[in-house]
Amino acid sequence: MFKKILIANRGEIAVRIIRACRELGIRTVAVYSECDAHSLHVRYADEHICVGPAEDALSYRNIPNVLSAAEITGVDAIHPGYGFLAENAHFAEVCESIGLAFIGPTSEHIALLGDKSKARELMMREGIPVLPGSDGELHSEQECLAVAQRLGFPVIVKASAGGGGRGMRVVTREDDLPRAFQAAQKEAESSFGHPGVYLERFFQDPRHVEIQIIADHHGHTVYFPERDCSIQRRYQKLLEESPSPVVSERLREELGRTAVKVAKSVKYRNAGTVEFLLDQDGRFYFMEMNTRIQVEHPVTEMVTGIDLVKEQIRVAAGLPLSVRQREIRLNGHAIECRINAECPERFTPHPGMVTAFHLPGGPGIRVDSALDGAGAVHPYYDSLIAKLIGHGRTREEAVLRVRRALDELVIEGIKTTIPLHRTILDHADFRKGQVSTRFLERLLSATVKS
């Protein structure tokens, strides 16, 4: 087992990893930017070291500085969390080359699965159902138009190296396709350093479901009950739950077996998430595989009782998984609300000073956050400030617990998405589990009209 791990991240995920390390008896090193010097993850870690100024490109994304911190502190592994360097194949490759364990998949897996168009091609060869679309990247407007005409509108243009909703454009009319193609290319180049895009048929009212898998070095790969991530805005998830209200036990097993097949097709190792679109007839299609721990991993932990971060660390250390497939049981229902420092009406970032902070409690409630009282929410990083997770014996109980906890959660001094989450949980369609990826769009449209 590792003796010391550097956490190449900040915020709630850094705190989450430190907690897992403490339970495993592993010392931790926190890296931080100048504006994060007094952050919770810095205080919780056994050691800490500054890696640069506030801007993430000069600190948390600065590979030479992060690796220098690892060398100075003598760690034997690095956990990247999510975001920043978590899906940077070059960073993982450098770690491998200098003998540092990268707690995640190999650099080869990150590069292969990070190219969404290549991943599509691979899955098609493996017989995995994929959304109808282009065969690989598109290099011209004419090529894009020909594929769109074959598929039929609406279509969606996607960045090959995409993630987080960037580099994506939905097109409903042929006349709008050239502009969408150019815009997606430009955003892909700006966000990911690669302008490649591909095309898929756009489904109007699908559900977004995903399967968490973990694979070790001993031939074992397991899957966990699905997470439903259909509540999202501009492809950014806002609320997740497990299990999905519409997935049967039979479909769950089929999704799980397919996710394991995806992982085994590339000899994947460590934690990953296979994402699917589920149409109204119950057919599912592979979208992509994320090669990291997900923001929403706590809902899986709540319904299975399995610590996914600790499993990540064990696998990276060469140990076998602590569980087998037959031991993974679905227990109750869990819902996670992502509490962001944003204006809930316009979704614009709202950093500033938190003047009052109070966490909810009671049965079945968990909050993952790096806030511990009054302090600053900085404008340089992702707007996520807390994840409120509720667990119940039934979906109804989980909804009621999360709704009650939202009323107890106090964050003053900045605007947050707490009011929006209350509105979502109060909506009759959500209560009945009748949602799609367009649920929030319609909800906000109805709110504006009223």
**Which are the catalytic amino acids?**
292
The answer to whether the CB of 369 falls within 8 A of the CB of 386 is yes
Buried b (16+ CB within 10 A) or exposed e, 331-367: ebbbbbbbbbbbebeebebbbeebeebebbeeebbbb
Can you say whether residue 108 is alpha, beta or left, with left for phi > 0 and alpha for psi between -120 and 50 degrees?
alpha
The answer to whether the CB of 225 falls within 8 A of the CB of 330 is yes
- Please enumerate in sequence order all residues whose Cβ is within 8 A of that of 95, keeping only pairs 6 or more positions apart, or say none: 67, 78, 101, 102
pLDDT, one tens digit per residue, over 417-445 is: 999 999 999 999 999 999 999 999 999 88
Helix or strand (DSSP H, E) at 47: strand 47-52
User: The tokens of 317 are what?
Assistant: 């250390």
CA gap 94, 8 in Å, rounded: 14
CA gap 10, 16 in Å, rounded: 10
When pLDDT is cut at 50, 70 and 90, the band that residue 449 belongs to is: low
Task: For the chain, list the domains and their CATH numbers.
Answer: 4-103 (3.40.50.20), 132-201 (3.30.1490.20), 207-449 (3.30.470.20)
pLDDT, one tens digit per residue, over 178-222 is: 999 999 999 988 888 889 999 998 888 999 999 999 999 999 999
Look at residues 167, 175, 172 and name the one whose alpha carbon lies nearest to residue 198.
167
Examine residue 105 and say whether the peptide bond preceding it is cis (omega within 30 degrees of 0): no
Q: How many angstroms separate the first and last alpha carbons of the chain?
A: 58
pLDDT, one tens digit per residue, over 100-125 is: 999 999 999 999 999 888 898 999 99
Helix or strand (DSSP H, E) at 199: strand 197-201
Q: What is the pTM of this model?
A: 0.91
CA gap 149, 445 in Å, rounded: 30
Q: Which residue has the tokens 């009406």?
A: 345
Amino acid, res. 15: V
Whether residue 79 is predicted with pLDDT greater than 80 in this model: the reply is yes
CA dihedral 307→313→316→321, nearest 10 degrees, is -30
CA gap 194, 159 in Å, rounded: 8
Greater confidence (368 vs 344) lies with 368
CA gap 168, 272 in Å, rounded: 22
